[in-house]
DNA sequence: CTGAAAGCGCTTACAG
DNA sequence: CTGAAAGCGCTTACAG
């Protein structure tokens, strides 16, 4: 009928071998002070009967769950899912190499009581040993609450420069460098009239990218005109609608745009296409991420590549270390990864007339 | 220090309210026969103290884990990861709507003792209530073993026509219909010299697609010449190398190819491009899947869309039903979903000369 | 090197 | 409607 019969337990194994459950347990857990002969006999019976110690009983007796929660804060839109979900495979495999299991969650409305409860429950139930947070805003109350409750958290993309943020492991990509690099690249191609498709500045990445755009503009002595500074929330839809609105405003067009991420650039490119504007003939555009789709755009999008996989690997490594030996990792660890420039076909050289 | 202090437990709650642990438990589990007054008092204290019953203790006492294992059999190549991982988000959310958690695994070498042990352990440890299997071959021994051990399994894409396969829920896409449809489409455009990029016939989808290609060819009275029948394992790399080999063989080119999936088509398109062949001017190609990248190809790939998300949703629904009430779902349930044709730019009309 | 016993935190018949 | 007690299956000091 598909119902499972009972599994064999440690008492049965002990009886079979003719030792105590303590001894079985010690063999299973590879403890010292067991004679080779006993160890061998227990091991054999365990293998013969296909015995697997019950996980819940082990956890209840004080063992770790060896499970990590992966919380993807998605804030209602699906824009990043494609990118994020394409990271999951590598993520799961890397965790597995440490012997850890991955429980995945999508967090759509972190401010909702229902969502908060769901997430907190996962931790408080002791379903996981620690969590990985992706896409949360800076100082997301839910995240701060979990940290204050003492849970082990690894966060991707969160930091407010100058602010102390204790008791968390944070791994970031160098957003400021990517953004300023993108702007400088356009400048070096001769562009002086440059527009920005800015991101969500409530998120660390958004704030850092804005800082990068502005710093490079200032460095090169070019002014970003307010009407060329467009706002998005990092989603393709917002990139599209922002650009549509701008294009139908009748304002003069800059010769190039730097976008806060590739997804936003995709949206803008769609808007350009609908208005009959050719890229890069009529307008250049550069993104950030090297989204899997970037090279399939027409034209292929020039961008900064973020090695998300490497970053996530590192985050897992650090969180596992922290879980297994809390003192081995600073209570407030921070690491930054650098992006790599990928030149493709979406930008052209232009006469540098200011 | 990041170490967690102990959580409050049901004894403490009971003491606080002035009732027994049994009563606390009954309130938590929403059992009847509790006075409204008691229920309210317990509920309040539970909320005030942020009490979450320990999961392991509950499972040990006989409750479900409310967790599903998602096992993606990847067979060593990464070809499908992109597609598969793009399904995970929707998958996780849908499971959440049933109150289920998702534990994800990538299974690379199912024949390895190490892998087998890892997978079986997840079930035997009682980490999950049931599993979802994706990408496994027909009669994959590991899967058959799990079924024979009595675990609840939902399988995507597995069936051998005519064979009885008990004790499993199987959900399939209508591969035969997609394949025969693709071939008929080419025929209707006037193509008579048609090549096939076949898939891995050890997998249900591969066998069914081959049957579909062949059936439609027979129906239309066209012959698939052996040299135009190319073999792949569903991966982009194999599509590419198969096509390269064919193109450098000096054999005459058919006017069109039908590919067992989009990924294989992508590989073939790359090979065409490298040989300077234009699509669809020199050769037409049609895929199956509507891979997220299909519309970004140059030219955009004509294909059959598989609604993977809908299929996975249904699979989850069925497996959850089965777990919660084993008699509510046939021990050998089977459902098939139909693909939808998506015409894009990779095929052209041709004079029908046999 | 081995084992008896306590303990982890819940649920569930059962009795009242 | 409520509670005392057994039981789930393990691990871990502790004693020997």
Greatest Cα-to-Cα distance within chain A, rounded to the nearest angstrom: 90
pLDDT at site A77:
47
pLDDT band for position A267 (50/70/90)? very high
> What percent of chain A is modeled with pLDDT above 70?
93
The bases of strand D with some atom under 7 A from any protein CB are 1-5, 7-13
Please name the residues in contact with A34: beta carbons below 8 A apart, sequence gap of 6 or more: A23, A26, A27
Task: Please give the mean pLDDT across all residues of chain A.
Answer: 90
* Sheet of strand B256-259: strand arrangement: B229-231, B194-198, B256-259, B284-286
- In whole angstroms, D15 C1' to A22 CA is 14
A6 touches strand D (CB under 7 A): yes
**Looking at residue B114, what is its pLDDT?**
93
Q: CB < 7 Å to strand D — which of 67-96 in chain A?
A: none
Question: What tens digit of pLDDT does each residue of B148-164 get?
Answer: 999 999 998 766 555 66
Supply the pLDDT for residue A246. 97
Q: Name the residue closest to the C1' of C7 by its CA.
A: A61
Q: Cβ contacts (< 8 Å) between B115 and chain A: which residues?
A: none
Sign of the four-CA dihedral A146, A151, A155, A159: positive
Helix pair A21-28, A10-17: axis angle to 10 deg: 100
The string of DSSP letters for A335-347 reads EEE--EEE--SS-
Give B-chain residues touching A104 at CB under 8 angstroms: 88, 92, 102, 104
Report the protein residue whose CA lies nearest the C1' of nucleotide D11: A61
pTM: 0.87
DSSP state of A107: E
The per-residue pLDDT for range B252-297, each reduced to its tens digit, is 999 999 999 999 999 999 899 989 999 999 999 999 999 878 887 8
Residue A47 CB contacts under 8 Å (≥ 6 apart), including other chains: none
Residue showing tokens 């997978």: B119
Cβ–Cβ below 8 Å for B126 and A88: no
- Consecutive H or E run containing B50: none
Give, in Å, how far the C1' of C5 lies from the CA of A329: 37
Convert the pLDDT of each residue in B292-347 to its tens digit. 788 878 899 999 999 888 889 999 999 999 999 888 888 788 899 999 999 999 99
What does the pLDDT read at residue A2? 44
Find the mean pLDDT for residues A236-252.
94
Q: What is the mean pLDDT of residues B90-109?
A: 92
Strand C: positions under 7 A of a protein C-beta atom: 1-5, 7-13
Element (H, E) at B121: helix B113-124
| Chain B residues lying within 8 Å of A96, measured CB to CB | 105-106, 118
B27-52 confidence digits (pLDDT tens): 999 998 888 999 999 999 999 999 99
Q: Which of B102, B104, B121 should be substituted to probe chain A, the one whose Cβ sees the most A Cβ atoms within 10 Å?
A: B104
Tell me: the pLDDT tens digits for B115-149? 999 999 999 999 999 999 998 888 899 999 999 99
- What the block records as the tokens of B185 is 């489409």
Q: What is the structure's pLDDT at B203?
A: 84
Helix (H) or strand (E) holding A106: strand A101-107
Please list every residue in chain B whose beta carbon sits closer than 8 Å to the beta carbon of residue A85. Answer: 85-89
Tokens of A326: 């809390």
Angle, vertex CA A343, rays to CA A313 and CA A212, nearest 5: 70
Q: Which residue has the higher pLDDT, B157 or B186?
A: B186
């Amino acid at each position: 009928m598909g119902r499972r019969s009972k599994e064999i337990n440690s008492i049965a194994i002990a009886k079979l071998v003719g030792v105590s459950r303590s001894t079985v347990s010690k063999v299973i857990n590879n403890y010292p002070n067991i004679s080779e002969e006993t160890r061998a006999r227990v091991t054999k019976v365990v293998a013969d009967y296909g015995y697997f110690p019950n996980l819940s009983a082990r956890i209840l007796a004080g063992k770790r769950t060896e499970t990590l929660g992966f919380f993807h804060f998605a804030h209602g839109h699906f824009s990043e899912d494609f990118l994020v979900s394409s990271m999951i495979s590598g993520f799961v495999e890397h965790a597995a190499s440490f012997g850890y299991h991955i429980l995945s969650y999508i967090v759509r409305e972190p401010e909702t009581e229902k969502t908060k409860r769901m997430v907190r429950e996962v931790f408080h139930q002791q379903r996981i040993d620690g969590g990985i947070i992706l896409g949360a805003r800076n100082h997301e109350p839910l995240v701060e609450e979990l940290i204050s409750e003492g849970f082990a958290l690894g966060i991707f993309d969160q930091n407010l420069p100058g602010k102390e943020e204790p008791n968390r492991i944070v791994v970031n990509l160098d957003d400021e460098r990517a953004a300023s690099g993108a702007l400088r690249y356009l400048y070096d191609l001769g562009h002086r009239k440059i527009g920005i498709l800015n991101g969500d500045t409530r998120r660390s990445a958004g704030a850092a990218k804005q800082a990068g755009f502005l710093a490079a503009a200032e460095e090169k002595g070019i002014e970003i005109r307010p009407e060329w500074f467009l706002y998005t929330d990092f989603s393709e839809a917002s990139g599209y609608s922002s650009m549509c609105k701008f294009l139908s405003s009748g304002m003069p067009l800059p010769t190039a745009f730097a976008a806060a991420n590739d997804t936003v650039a995709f949206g803008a490119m769609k808007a350009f296409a609908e208005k009959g504007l050719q890229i890069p003939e009529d307008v250049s555009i550069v993104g950030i991420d090297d989204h899997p789709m970037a090279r399939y755009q027409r034209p292929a999008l020039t961008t900064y590549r973020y090695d998300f996989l490497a970053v996530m690997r590192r985050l897992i490594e650090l969180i596992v270390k922290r879980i297994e030996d809390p003192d081995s990792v600073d209570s407030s660890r921070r690491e930054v990864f650098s992006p790599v420039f990928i030149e493709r076909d979406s930008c052209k050289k232009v006469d540098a007339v200011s």
